Structure 1
Amino acid sequence: MKRPYYLFSSGRLKRQHNTLALERMTGDRQPDDSPGDEALPSAEADGPRAPFPVESVDSLFLFGEIDINSKLITFLGRQGIPAFFYDYYGNYTATLYPRDNQLSGHLRVRQAQFYLNVKRRLVLAKAIVEAALFNIERVIKYYQPRLEGETRTTVQTTLLALTRDREALPEAVDIPTLMAVEGRIRDRYYRLWPCFLGENTSALFPFTKRERRPPSNELNALISFGNSLCYSTVLRQIYRTALDPTIAFLHEPGERRFSLSLDIAEVFKPLLVDRAIFRL
């Protein structure tokens, strides 16, 4: 059974016979944006070696400072294993992906046609928002029976408001209006987080609103980190198809980003990321 591997240690990743091994770096990792950095390893990879079978690897998520060479890249390509890279601060930076074997010019043209057709794009974008709202309501209803008193009343009031938001989705006539409804849904949802976290946890990790670039506190940082993992996991699944990850329907396609991954991740973030955060 193949699964993703998350490597947080630094060192050299190498081919060991017909499998993989990480030779750990014993020194401290230096920030990627250090003044005078020459893109050399922060320290020697002279620590213990951790082998793992390549047959069990679906994908690699590299959070440490990992040194690789072309032989390893060729080996990963033959095995069909993509590698996702994150910088010193945990931001997703790049993907090393095997040569495309799921190519379809016809599908890519059709995908672009759906984006350019306002009505068809709006249908797909509404479906994405509706699915995301469905999973947000699933999370809320999971925690609702565990709440008492004022917090439970607050949750019930929010669920009624989300019902009204759901009813407003068919009325959205364009993408900006739909994005405004989606933003309102997320805002209502995030305001409930202190209820789910409980009084003691909320005191230790206060959360009043979602803030990005940069996150303003620990909880916002955890959300950003979890969302980044979700984006790259969705991107891995998009790569299994012939879809173009840069052509999206809810988010506007932009420069240097996989907008379709942002679209699809909206559906799964409440279940994969938020539930994990509450459990932590």
Structure 2
Amino acid sequence: MKRPYYLFSSGRLKRRHNTLALEKMTGERQPDDAPEDEALPSAEADGARTPFPVESVDSLFLFGEVDINSKLITFLGQQGIPAFFYDYYGNYTATLYPRDNLLSGHLRVQQAQFYLSSKKRLVLAQAFVEAALFNIERVIKYYQPRLEGEARTAAQVTLQALTRDREALPKTTDIPTLMAVEGRIRDRYYQLWPHFLGENVTRLFPFNKRERRPPSNELNALISFGNSMCYTTVLRQIYRTALDPTIAFLHEPGDRRFSLSLDIAEIFKPLLVDRAIFRLLKTGEISPKHFEKHLGGCYLSEAGRKIFVQHWDERLSQTVQHRELNRKVSYERLIRLECYKLVRHLNNPVHEPYQGLHMWW
């Protein structure tokens, strides 16, 4: 069974016969933005190789400093294996994307037409936001009974505002208004996080507001890294369909980004990213020692990223009983199913209208 591989070691990734091998480096990776950096390897490979069968590789996530050559790129392309690259601070930077093998000219035309039609685009954008708000609501309702006093009241006030905004979504007339509604609710939702995490965790990880570029503190760093993992995980599933990841409906398509991944990731952040963060902080698996400060920002250290990625991989393999398919489905498979739902809507919006995933567990 194929699965993603997460490579934290630095070195040279090679094709070895008909499989893959990482020839590791002996030195430590240096920051990518160092003034003296000349885009050369931080250290030489020491010859020690870690092979892994290509037949088991669904995708590669490269967190170390990894050298590759055209022969390796050709081999990955032949095997249909995408590779996702992250910089020294754990920020997603690029994707090595194999040549499309599930091309559908009809679907691509339909996807473009839905984007170009303001009415059709708005319907899909509303569905993405509605599902995202519904899943945020599920998270708040999970924690609300565990809160007391002012914390419980704050959660109730946020739920009331969320319900009003979610019910008013069909009345919105443009994408910027939708984005503003989603952003406003998410900000109020983040204000509840100290209550969800409890006094002991909040004392170690103070959190006032969401700050991104760069993350200002440990909790912001966790959110940024988790969102980045969600984005690339969604992109990996889009690649397994005939959808064009650059044509989106909620987020504006732009240069150098796969905007459709941003659309679908909004639905899964509360389920995958937020719950992962709560779990790792409340159990103490990630602590202040797993962060480092650099150039005014705060980032997960390599040790912290390893812990998060291991938990992330385990979370993606968790299953729930699907109410329509009547069988257990993994969280990762739910993302693929979401892509299929979008495909059906694009082909037949009347009989297969799209509704974003609503958590039922």
TM-score scaled by structure 1?
Answer: 0.95
d(CA) in 1 for partners of 2:38, 2:154:
54
Matched, 1:37 2:54: no
Matched, 1:82 2:82: yes
- Please name the residue that 1:266 is paired with: 266
* % identical aligned pairs: 88
Q: CA deviation at 1:242?
A: 2.0
d(CA) in 2 for partners of 1:100, 1:158:
43
- Please name the residue that 1:170 is paired with: 170
Matched, 1:71 2:36: no
Q: CA deviation at 1:143?
A: 2.1
- Please name the residue that 2:8 is paired with: 8
- Please name the residue that 2:96 is paired with: 96
Q: CA deviation at 1:47?
A: 6.2
Q: Please tell me whether the aligned partners of residues 62 and 83 of structure 1 are also in contact (alpha carbons under 8 angstroms).
A: yes
Matched residue SS, 2:61 = strand
Within 5 A, what are the aligned runs for 1:208-247?
208-247=208-247
Q: Which amino acid aligns with 1:115?
A: Y
Q: Please tell me whether the aligned partners of residues 26 and 47 of structure 1 are also in contact (alpha carbons under 8 angstroms).
A: no
d(CA) in 1 for partners of 2:145, 2:161:
18
d(CA) in 2 for partners of 1:78, 1:256:
24
Matched residue SS, 1:46 = strand
Q: Which amino acid aligns with 2:20?
A: L
Q: CA deviation at 1:36?
A: 3.8
- Please name the residue that 1:151 is paired with: 151
In terms of mean alpha carbon deviation, does 29-38 or 222-231 score higher?
29-38
Q: CA deviation at 1:141?
A: 2.0
Matched residue SS, 2:144 = helix
CA separation of 1:47 and 1:157: change in aligned 2, threshold 3 A: farther
- Please name the residue that 1:161 is paired with: 161
d(CA) in 2 for partners of 1:247, 1:12:
34
d(CA) in 2 for partners of 1:164, 1:235:
32
User: How many residues of Structure 1 are paired with residues of Structure 2 in the alignment?
Assistant: 280
In terms of mean alpha carbon deviation, does 212-221 or 105-114 score higher?
105-114
Matched, 1:52 2:52: yes
- Please name the residue that 2:107 is paired with: 107
In terms of mean alpha carbon deviation, does 35-44 or 249-258 score higher?
35-44
Moved over 4 A (4+): none
d(CA) in 2 for partners of 1:16, 1:89:
30
- Please name the residue that 2:122 is paired with: 122
d(CA) in 2 for partners of 1:67, 1:92:
17
In terms of mean alpha carbon deviation, does 96-105 or 261-270 score higher?
96-105
In terms of mean alpha carbon deviation, does 210-219 or 140-149 score higher?
140-149
In terms of mean alpha carbon deviation, does 248-257 or 150-159 score higher?
150-159
Q: CA deviation at 1:156?
A: 2.1
Unmatched runs of 5 consecutive residues or more in structure 2: 281-361
d(CA) in 2 for partners of 1:58, 1:216:
34
Q: 1:179-229, CA deviations, whole angstroms, 9 ceiling, x for partnerless residues? A: 111111111211111111111111111111111111111110111111111
TM-score scaled by structure 2?
Answer: 0.74
d(CA) in 2 for partners of 1:129, 1:93:
26
Q: Which amino acid aligns with 2:58?
A: D
d(CA) in 2 for partners of 1:97, 1:247:
16
d(CA) in 2 for partners of 1:234, 1:220:
21
CA separation of 1:148 and 1:47: change in aligned 2, threshold 3 A: farther
d(CA) in 1 for partners of 2:220, 2:259:
22
Unmatched runs of 5 consecutive residues or more in structure 1: none
Q: CA deviation at 1:125?
A: 0.4
In terms of mean alpha carbon deviation, does 189-198 or 43-52 score higher?
43-52
